[in-house]
Amino acid sequence: MRKTSLAEMPCPVARTLDVIGEWWTLIIVREAFLGARRFDDFKGIGIADNILSARLKRLVGEGIFERHPYQAHPERFEYQLTQKGRELLPVIGALRSWGQKWTTGRTLNRMTHEACGHEVSVHLYCQECRRPIGGQEVRAERARESLTAAG
């Protein structure tokens, strides 16, 4: 019920949360970025088999993972991020940057720029001005009602 209403909201944030807005889902995607491919790889995050199985099925259904067989008897599959799934990296990166600053605890994995080896961060960015911008430079606003009606 709640999920359906999010999926139908006229807001891309809401619709994205409908697809990935559940704790384990993004942890599973994070594991894939860290190299997990097989069911047993993902189990390392401490998720129950039935929940992991349901989440992977949903993520395949949403086109975030593709399932490829790697063994015939018994049949076994690998899960690979699609382009749609790989483009979740900025979401993971934004969560990571916030968590590094605002939560306490260790950080056991790294996200680095392959070319230079330095940590990657995630920034609000203006394509027009070609520079990262701060939150205080951003205006968030609802479209006017007239625009709304026009679709």
- The span from the CA of 26 to the CA of 50, in Å, is 17
The alpha carbons of the chain give a radius of gyration, in whole angstroms, of 19
Q: How many CB atoms lie within 10 A of CB 112?
A: 10
Smallest gap from Cβ 43 to its own copies, in A, equals 14
Q: Is 4 in the site for its own copies (CB under 8 A)?
A: no
Tell which one of 50, 72, 128, 146 touches its own copies (CB under 8 A): 128
List, in sequence order, every residue forming a beta bridge with 79; answer none if it has no partner.
Answer: 67
Smallest gap from Cβ 120 to its own copies, in A, equals 5
Residue with tokens 């392959």: 114
| Span interacting with its own copies, options 53-61, 68-76, 117-125, rule CB under 8 A | 117-125
Q: Is 60 in the site for its own copies (CB under 8 A)?
A: no
Tell which one of 14, 39, 41, 78 touches its own copies (CB under 8 A): 14
Q: Is 126 in the site for its own copies (CB under 8 A)?
A: yes
Q: Is 75 in the site for its own copies (CB under 8 A)?
A: no
| 15 class by beta-carbon count within 10 Å (0-12 exposed, 13-18 middle, 19+ buried) | middle
| Span interacting with its own copies, options 52-60, 70-78, 109-117, rule CB under 8 A | 109-117
Phi, psi of 10 (to 5 degrees): -80, 50
